[in-house]
Amino acid sequence: APLMQDRGVDEVYVDFTEVPGGQREGGRVLARLIQKSIFNKTGLTCSVGVAPNKLLAKMSSEFNKPNGISIIYEADLQAKIWPLHCRKINGIGPKAGERLASLQVNTIGELAAQDRGWLITHFGKATGAWMHEAAWGRDERPVVTESEPVSMSRETTFDRDLHAVHNKAELSAIFTRLCEQVAADLQRKGYVGRTIGIKLRYDDFKSVTRDQTLEHFTADARTIRQVAGQCLKRVPLDKRLRLLGVRAATLIKAGEEPGNGKSRSLAQSSPASNATESIASDQLF
């Protein structure tokens, strides 16, 4: 297929649209050929979901495991998708599922019945709008074969909501680890970034982000933590947190930044593990 997106060790998206014979039996013929080829090559079975977009294809691939083929048409939304639990939507996790249940929303159909504004009120602008689109089976994301990364980020959702004051030490350690992980990702993949940002999600599901752009590019954990800490000081920390994230954006390949010699020494002046050295003088939580 001309368009295939690798999603990890055991998952891919394939665009059948322009593949000769790709629409035969709604895509079932080509799905069988894929299953046969994978089995002959690896001895492994796989399940295939065929649908108009990535969101529905992902959901339908779960229907007939193992080694099944499921085909979903746009007209099947009400009969096959809406009766499912909201958690079947890839991206709605346990906490969001619990919150929806507390609002008497359990199935995807019940989610689709909610007004977009109501969802935004309860889950924030981005998440609420996305939930509404997902419940109606809408997903405009293309199958991406290859692209330069726009940003690199690490985030974590806590097992329990944490408070910036009462759980200061725990949050500080998590924050440092995320900065180290972003730095390690940049260095491993050969990139440097100029914009450092943070993401917080509160216990009411509202999210906030803050970014700061540097004068130089960096992949240094200590620098990332320092700048991310400055971003953190620009957000309210009076509510409990359920998610914390750190990102680096405005990326270019290491060695290609303007003023190469000076910037590169700044970007790689210390290894990722050195972020912990800044905790004592920059206690953020």
What residues act catalytically? 11
For residue 162, give every residue at least 6 positions away whose Cβ sits within 8 Å of its Cβ, in sequence order, or none.
170, 171, 240, 241, 242
Say if residues 147 and 233 touch (Cβ distance below 8 Å): no
CA–CA distances in Å: residue 27 to residues 33, 72, 118, 122, 159: 10, 10, 37, 39, 41
Please name which of 176, 197, 186, 198 lies closest in space to residue 276, comparing C-alpha atoms.
Answer: 176
Q: Six-digit token pair at 71?
A: 């085909």
Please name which of 66, 122, 116, 111 lies closest in space to residue 88, comparing C-alpha atoms.
Answer: 111
**Spatial distance between the Cα atoms of 59 and 109, rounded to a whole number of angstroms:** 15
Please name which of 167, 176, 159, 131 lies closest in space to residue 239, comparing C-alpha atoms.
Answer: 167
In sequence order, what are the beta bridge partners of 127? Answer: none
Q: In degrees, to the nearest 5, what angle opens at C-alpha 174 toward C-alphas 173 and 180?
A: 90
**Spatial distance between the Cα atoms of 15 and 30, rounded to a whole number of angstroms:** 11
